[in-house]
Amino acid sequence: MPAHAQDLVLSNLPPSRTQQKLALSVALLIVLAAFFISATGEQQVKLAAVDALVPLYGMAMFVSDSITAVLLFTQFSIVRSRALLIISSGYVWTALVVIPWLLSFPGVFAPHGLLGGSSSEITVWLYALWHAGFPMFVIAYALLKTAQPPMQLRRMSAGSAILSCIVVTATAISAATYLLIAFQAHLPRFMEDAVNFSALWYYTAVIIALLSILAIILLWIRRKSLLDLWLMVVMLVFLTEVLISSFPVSARFSLGWYAGRTCSLLSGSLILFVLLYEITIVYARLIGAVRAQSRERGARLVTGDAVAATIAHEIKQPLAAIMTRAETGLRWLDRSLPELERAKEQFKEIVADGRRAAAVIEGIRANFKKDAQIRIWLDINVLIEETLTLVHGDLQQHRILVRAESQAELPQIMGDRIQLQQVLLNLITNAIEAMASKDGLRVLAVISELTKDGGIAVSIADTGKGIPSKETDQIFNPLFTTKPEGMGMGLSICRSIVESHDGNLLVFPNSPQGAVFQIILHATRPTSRTSA
């Protein structure tokens, strides 16, 4: 089993500081309450006699101990440690021994119990077995837990091991009950008469108390896990129960008797609460992990899609141009009298398109590798000029008139040259495509100016088909496109690049027709002219 699965099991999970404090507080509270009751010397004060309480108490013990045993067995089936098998059997023991104890209890199912003879004698014997047995299971658990090499069950299946434990424990309890009934006349007596206990009971109570103390000491020495910590509290409550109801022996329905039952219920259900709490926490963590995993998978798919779409989108256009120009160039050369000058022009354009494709790939790489951005001081007008040169062929092909205007004194800006060129290239290509699909005057205006706060605004205005107002919000969304061959990635990439430069990318309608995209880059004061 993988190490991290082991770490999630209660018997291996180390207790947190809060859990340690909580356990200490619970233990202190119980010991103080018991001390308070003993100090008043009022244990024998008779409280209301609720007859239904004994069967209810028995049922509650049976249910909570059985559930605890089932949960502990489940933990055992994960880690397969013998120690866990033993402590689970301890809870099976306490759950099952309650049955004959309740059957024999005088006045519960019959005035003298259902097991015949001197039933209260059998009841006390069963009580003694119950209370002496549990600390022994805890001692065995503590000893096995730190045994080296770790005592793990390998040969037997978890199911058979659990079944064997239940069968052995149930057989032991049945045999003990049978022997108690069969030989009750020969047994040393716990009761002197119907009300008073003999010295044997006090010896037994001392033995149970000593066993509980030994269990606490062993757990303390070997304590490592959450289960160890809470078992210590359980044993402390268990010890308190024995002391409070035996020294002196509390009569039924007295304050001491009620306090003893409360301790017993508490010690029986503490581990159950802790188990349920921890299992819920692990379950919540599991749900969180599954959600995070599926989110991550989704994000990876989207990123993968986005990268593929971007590469396809950005590269397709220069590639198509390269092919057309290569064919045209070849045609010029194929003539009977080759037109060398014209062919040369086409090949120059091919070189420019190739550079453009390379720039685009660099841009995509820089965009996805955020740390790899190279920020330098640059002149935006030079960048615009270079970009217009890259699309020179397209502009000519679609008979587009270019108006490039600039305020002479523009400050330099700090930015990633390749990324900003990619933005300009994308916006200009979109403008060309918007105008190519429409007849009429085709004008591309690229205007750079100073903004009021000393930054730079670059507007790319076209006289194309324009953007319907209902689409203005969507065009920046990844994968939104209205073009049959479009990828819908260009504008979303442009916006993320501009925003990573602390700028804004805006869009508004051009007058009388078309669209204007405006890049706003805020002012940055040059301190040095070196690469950042």
What are the residues binding ligand ADP (CB under 6 A)? 313, 426, 430-431, 434, 462, 464-467, 475, 480-483, 486-492, 515
DSSP 277: H
In the complex, least distance from residue 504 CB atom to ligand ADP, rounded to whole angstroms: 16
> For residues 180 and 487, which CB has a smaller minimum distance to ligand ADP in the complex?
487
By beta-carbon proximity to ligand ADP, the closer residue of 271 and 357 is 357
Smallest gap from residue 427 Cβ to ligand ADP (A): 7
Q: How far, in Å, CA of 230 to CA of 247, rounded? A: 26
Question: Contact 457/449 with Cβ under 8 angstroms?
Answer: yes
- The least distance separating ligand ADP from the CB of residue 75, rounded to whole angstroms, comes to 55
Cβ proximity to ligand ADP, 399 vs 483, nearer residue: 483
**Cα separation of 300 and 314, whole Å?**
21
Instruction: List the Cα angle 183/188/191 in 5-degree steps.
Output: 110
Pick the closer one to ligand ADP by CB: 103 or 321: 321
Nearest 5°: phi and psi at 296?
-65, -40
Smallest distance, ligand ADP to C-beta of residue 313, A: 5
* CB-nearer residue toward ligand ADP: 82 or 313: 313
**CB-nearer residue toward ligand ADP: 231 or 515:** 515
* Phi, psi for residue 460 in degrees, rounded to 5: -115, 105
Q: List the one residue out of 359, 358, 353, 344 whose CA is nearest residue 322.
A: 353
Q: Residue 49: what are its φ and ψ, rounded to 5°?
A: -90, 105
Min CB(402)–ligand ADP separation in Å? 15
Cβ distance to ligand ADP smaller for residue 66 or 513: 513
Nearest residue to ligand ADP on Cβ basis:
490
Output 343 or 435, the one with its CB closest to ligand ADP. Answer: 435
Residue 383 or 487: the one with the smaller Cβ distance to ligand ADP is: 487
| The token pair that represents 200 in the structure block | 């044997």
Q: Quote the CA–CA distance of 385 and 175 in Å, as a whole number.
A: 100
Tokens 């209810």 label which residue?
56
Cα(165)–Cα(458) distance, integer angstroms: 81
Cβ 514 to ligand ADP shortest distance, Å:
7
Q: Which is nearer to ligand ADP, 380 or 445 (CB)?
A: 445
CA distance 131 to 137: 11
Smallest separation (angstroms) from ligand ADP to the CB of 473: 11
Considering beta carbons, is residue 140 or 461 the nearer one to ligand ADP?
461
**Partners of 460 in beta bridges:** 446, 517
Task: State which residue, 103 or 491, has the beta carbon closest to ligand ADP.
Answer: 491
Give the residue with the Cβ less far from ligand ADP, 140 or 494: 494
**Cα distances (Å, whole numbers) of residue 125 to 132, 198, 506:** 10, 13, 88
User: Contact at 8 Å (CB) between 462 and 508?
Assistant: no
Q: How far is the CB of 429 from ligand ADP (least distance, A)?
A: 8
Helix axes 82-104 and 119-145, enclosed angle (nearest 10): 170
C-alpha closest to that of 426 among 369, 481, 371, 508: 481
Instruction: Report in angstroms how near the CB of residue 399 gets to ligand ADP at its nearest.
Output: 17
Between the two ends of the chain, the Cα-to-Cα distance in Å is 50
Within 13 Å and on the Cβ side, how many CA atoms surround 424?
29
97: nearest Cα among 116, 74, 125, 117: 125
What distance separates the 2 farthest-apart alpha carbons in the chain? Answer: 135
| Tokens found for residue 360 | 């685009």
With residue 444 as reference, give the H or E element that holds it.
strand 443-450
User: At closest approach, how far in Å is the CB of 475 from ligand ADP?
Assistant: 4
User: Over the range 222-234, which residues count as b (16 or more CB within 10 Å of their CB) and which as e?
Assistant: bbebbbbbbbbbb
Minimum distance, C-beta of residue 375 to ligand ADP, in the bound complex (Å)? 25
17-40 helix and 255-334 helix, angle to the nearest 10 degrees: 170
Q: How far is the CB of 468 from ligand ADP (least distance, A)?
A: 9
Minimum CB separation of residue 368 from ligand ADP in Å reads 17
**Whole-angstrom distance, CA of residue 519 vs CA of residue 456:** 8
Cis before 135? omega within 30: no
